[in-house]
Amino acid sequence: MAIKTPITVAYGDGIGPEIMQATMKLLDAAQAQVAPEIIEVGEKIYLSGNTTGIPDKAWESIKRTKVLLKSPITTPQGGGYKSLNVTMRKTLGLFANVRPCVSYAPFVSSNFSNIDLVIVRENEEDLYSGIEHRGTEEVYQCLKIVTRPGCERIIQYAFEYARKFNRKKVTCLSKDNIMKMTDGLFHRVFNEIAAQYPDIQNEHLIVDIGTALIASNPERFDVIVTLNLYGDIISDVAAQVAGSVGLAGSANIGNQVAMFEAIHGSAPDIAGKDIANPSGLMHAAIQMLVHINQPEIATLIENAWLKTLEDGIHTGDIYSPEHSKKKVGTREFADAVIARLGQLPSHFKAAHYKPGAYAKIECYGAQPKAESRKELVGVDVFLDNPQDLTAQELSGKIAGLGGPMSLIVITSRGLKIWPDSSIETPYLRHCCCRFQSSRDIKQLQAVSHSDIINLLARMNEIGLDTIKTENLYTFDGELGYTLAQGQ
Amino acid sequence: MAIKTPITVAYGDGIGPEIMQATMKLLDAAQAQVAPEIIEVGEKIYLSGNTTGIPDKAWESIKRTKVLLKSPITTPQGGGYKSLNVTMRKTLGLFANVRPCVSYAPFVSSNFSNIDLVIVRENEEDLYSGIEHRGTEEVYQCLKIVTRPGCERIIQYAFEYARKFNRKKVTCLSKDNIMKMTDGLFHRVFNEIAAQYPDIQNEHLIVDIGTALIASNPERFDVIVTLNLYGDIISDVAAQVAGSVGLAGSANIGNQVAMFEAIHGSAPDIAGKDIANPSGLMHAAIQMLVHINQPEIATLIENAWLKTLEDGIHTGDIYSPEHSKKKVGTREFADAVIARLGQLPSHFKAAHYKPGAYAKIECYGAQPKAESRKELVGVDVFLDNPQDLTAQELSGKIAGLGGPMSLIVITSRGLKIWPDSSIETPYLRHCCCRFQSSRDIKQLQAVSHSDIINLLARMNEIGLDTIKTENLYTFDGELGYTLAQGQ
């Protein structure tokens, strides 16, 4: 007998316990070689005063087994409770959200019968770092952060996934026509890594058009890799047009730990009624079995599930007089799947996860490259300008304060308002004053941090409220910042 | 005879001239009371060395007439050419992108026959300010900027639009569960302004679910108002599921100037062949006629266009054997619409823009409120940490440098890495060191700009590369910044 793989299991809140019982019963019947450790996370833990919702004992189990199968949980309203998923993602470095999306028409209503795509979403960066600042009465800011290792890791993961799962194409979505540096980096790294996988097709789409195509023509996609926010949006779009929001599982993958869950929530309104559909968690369990290298069991369960669907044994959420034969509850649905273990679907293509094909995918990004020569060449100083000094007045006050740096341009919301601005009613409250060591970006000289500190001190002396700074660097002579619109 | 309204007209590039000729012929036949001034913008101007694509003479005309009807233009590849649309939007303060989206099934293929929604997209702020910085070898950043007047203006516009055009509901999309300050502001202002329009229903949806609903259930929407990036994505999704990418017009509205155009591009591959569909520009012209208060002419043209579509007179892009009677070119299509001026559609609901209802919508946001009491209470100093000093080492070096401020937390990509971090392999290259006047956010005292400058000077003395700062403020005692994940 095989040695059982320890896994950590969280029964969750709302409908969580019911669907987990159904799923565990199925795993057991299919003879999955797993040794579950049960942890308690979620609502009870939050309400006991632990704002993370996850006690030390639970952490220990997860870190030991490195595999978590998790039911949905309920985060109580208010009170500074932190999202358990965000905490786990960040703390455990679960950099990849992997979400297969399949349509099951005609048994589950969808305009598309052949959706079979996988979204690989970057999980740690982008605007979701939640770094926000209010610099003036009226102006709020959020930082979008994108790193090269972050891009390398997720994109490498997408291509490795495509190769292992015999997928043909990876599509990258970004908005690099507008965000030339951040999204530009993502696209550039995509091109670099795609070149290492000549057996996999690749393409890049601008995210607006890409999202529209996922909505209107989802069958054209295979693997999609994208940044965090876009991935969030397209995951919902794809699940919705496939009709599979209630049926889909999702994996959050790190190089050490992986977490598997349904994509739906804890639905407290129907909890305890034995009517919830356990399919989302069952699909998560299938992903988990593949991950822990039990592909035969995954195949067995997925085919039995497909056969159950085809046979019209449906929970209420997908019941239709036309395509259903019997409306069942959570337990009866699980029993129906168990009764079909060993059977194959006839309408749908049978699943077949090849033995030995899914050694865990670990991605550490490219080897560090030679560092560029980094040179400080100026600074953007942002001002709160509550008296609405005109850009002309401002420039008069500060143009002489830069020491070795000259005032090059003043902008507002990225738009040049000095010099030579043709804007009739510029927004003056929040200004960015760009000082560079030379007006000509081809003649930039190094300046020092002291030069910037001196500038800030002089601006402070004349009573200006400098609210933030962004140093301006070149890397191997290339600008590390965008030019202002109109600069 | 009415006095003709001067308008500025740009024939554009690619298919631009053909579709504009067709549209102008239609306006003429419908006796639109307009006096066109022709300007040249776009490819030729770019290639003559003007990187904005728009010469002074064109600016003068636009600023005089305050109305621009514009064909698509071609921006040459490379060479630092700036997007003409972005320049015009920003320079002229065109804060609202207004994009009606209608389905014309069965004549134009769509899964939905009753889409009739209008997207009101904020046009000047958000990540599209294009303010990007590279602070380290590996880390790139883009600023998302959201202002209260920007939110007020666009949301007020959406409600004014809804009222004037007899719309019933305004839906707001944001991601304020993650971006509590920036998107939170948008949502808060939405609630404030919605309360002033009790005759209009209102709702808020998280943008991922909202976008999924636009893809799967677009008929539930009426007016949608959202931030720039989300608006960009959902505009494409809505047009695509409606099947009307080639047929739709769009308005860019400022308090002074408004620009009207088709949503499609210049399609140089089919230029000069008399096969392009002029419908998108015709719809833009209809929007323009409503804007300049010629609603009768707008009604006349829209009904003739609908009748032409119903009669199966179709250009090649929407031709289908099932629903088309005749395949026509650009000119013949325009003639067919002209021949139907005065007729009403029978399948589609006839348009009826009420006379006198559409006085130009001007939105200046709410009156300035009493300013909050703003207090400087600390600073986030971001470091490039190329030697990967551990958070523990870093804290040892800098904890004593804050003067009246204490080192509270060190974060990386928004995640706490000091103190008490449970992260096993934190990303150290790009760190944020938060100094506050007190550990307890309820006990924060004011610090001075000099305190921050002194801290920067001391960090510089020990050789740290401080790459950016974000001052920490309170406003009337409320935090003007988010707490770090784990703080």
| B164 contact partners, CB below 8 Å, separation of at least 6 | B357, B358, B361
- Other Cβ atoms less than 10 A from the Cβ of A44: the count is 14
Q: What is the pLDDT of residue B366?
A: 64
Q: What is the pLDDT of residue B77?
A: 77
Q: Is B430 helix (H, G, I), strand (E, B) or coil?
A: strand
pLDDT band at B50 (very low <50, low <70, confident <90, very high): confident
Neighboring chain A residues of B423 at a CB cutoff of 8 Å: 90-91, 93
Q: Are B472 and A126 in contact (CB under 8 A)?
A: no
Distance from the Cα of residue B124 to its chain's centroid? 7
How far apart, in whole angstroms, are the C-alpha atoms of residue A297 and residue A290?
Answer: 8
How far apart, in whole angstroms, are the C-alpha atoms of residue A44 and residue B189?
Answer: 34
Strand residues in A11-71 grouped as ranges (E): 34-39, 67-70
Provide the sign of the torsion angle of the four alpha carbons B307, B313, B316, B318, taken in this order.
Answer: positive
Residues in a beta bridge with B126: B145
Per-residue pLDDT tens over the stretch A150-171: 999 999 999 999 999 999 999 9
A271 or A74, greater pLDDT: A271
| Residue from B165, B203, B175, B195 nearest B287 by CA | B165
State yes or no: pLDDT of A366 exceeds 70. no
State yes or no: pLDDT of B319 exceeds 90. yes
Closest Cβ opposite residue A134 in set B93, B175, B181: B181
State yes or no: pLDDT of A1 exceeds 60. no
Q: Are A155 and A190 in contact (CB under 8 A)?
A: yes
- Flag whether residue B211 sits within 8 Å of chain A, measured between CB atoms: yes
Q: What is the pLDDT of residue A306?
A: 98
How far apart, in whole angstroms, are the C-alpha atoms of residue A259 and residue A299?
Answer: 20
CB within 8 Å of chain A, chain B residues 348-387:
371-372, 374, 380, 384, 386
| A18 contact partners, CB below 8 Å, separation of at least 6 | A271, A272, A274, A276, A278, A330, A331
| Residue from B347, B108, B323, B101 nearest B215 by CA | B101
State the amino acid at position A229 in one-letter form: L
- Other Cβ atoms less than 10 A from the Cβ of B35: the count is 10
Q: Quick one: fold of A111-241? A: Isopropylmalate Dehydrogenase (3.40.718)
How far apart, in whole angstroms, are the C-alpha atoms of residue A181 and residue A204?
Answer: 16
* Architecture category of domain A1-95+243-358 in CATH: 3-Layer(aba) Sandwich (3.40)
Distance from the Cα of residue B72 to its chain's centroid? 18
How far apart, in whole angstroms, are the C-alpha atoms of residue B341 and residue A433?
Answer: 55
Q: Closest-CA residue in chain B for A383?
A: B471
Mean pLDDT computed over every residue of chain A: 93
Please state, in angstroms and as integers, the Cα–Cα distance from residue B291 to each residue in A210, B4, B126, B251, following that order. 32, 14, 27, 10
CATH of region A374-479: 3.30.70.1570
In order, the DSSP letters of B343-411 are ---SSSPPP---TT--PPP----SPPPPPP-EEEEEEEEEEE-TT---HHHHHHHHGGG-TT-EEEEEE
Helices A148-164 and A182-194: crossing angle in degrees, nearest 10, is: 40
Per-residue pLDDT tens over the stretch B278-294: 999 999 999 999 999 99
From A31-35, B199-203, B412-416, the region with the lowest mean pLDDT = B412-416
pLDDT band at B359 (very low <50, low <70, confident <90, very high): low
| Residue from A87, A21, A94, A17 nearest A59 by CA | A87
Q: What is the pLDDT of residue A368?
A: 63
Q: What is the pLDDT of residue B409?
A: 95
| Residue from A126, A49, A61, A118 nearest A92 by CA | A61
- Other Cβ atoms less than 10 A from the Cβ of A71: the count is 27
- Other Cβ atoms less than 10 A from the Cβ of A408: the count is 26
- Flag whether residue B446 sits within 8 Å of chain A, measured between CB atoms: no
- Contact state of A485 with B130 under an 8 Å Cβ cutoff: yes
Whole-model pTM above 0.90? yes
Please state, in angstroms and as integers, the Cα–Cα distance from residue A172 to each residue in A146, A212, A290, B211, B350, following that order. 15, 14, 25, 19, 42
Q: What percent of chain A has pLDDT over 90?
A: 83
Neighboring chain A residues of B473 at a CB cutoff of 8 Å: 134-135, 467
Per-residue pLDDT tens over the stretch A386-437: 989 999 999 999 999 999 999 999 999 888 899 988 787 788 899 999 999 9
Per-residue pLDDT tens over the stretch A432-461: 999 999 999 899 999 999 999 999 999 999
Residue with tokens 């998790």: A70
- CA A147 to chain B, closest CA, distance in angstroms equals 4
pLDDT band at B484 (very low <50, low <70, confident <90, very high): confident
Rg of chain B over all Cα atoms, to the nearest angstrom: 27
Judge whether B1-95+243-358 and B111-241 match in fold.
yes
Domain boundaries, chain A: 1-95+243-358, 111-241, 374-479
Q: Are A94 and A217 in contact (CB under 8 A)?
A: no
Q: What percent of chain A has pLDDT over 70?
A: 97
pLDDT band at A90 (very low <50, low <70, confident <90, very high): confident
Q: What is the pLDDT of residue A2?
A: 64
Cis peptide before A100 (omega within 30 of 0): no
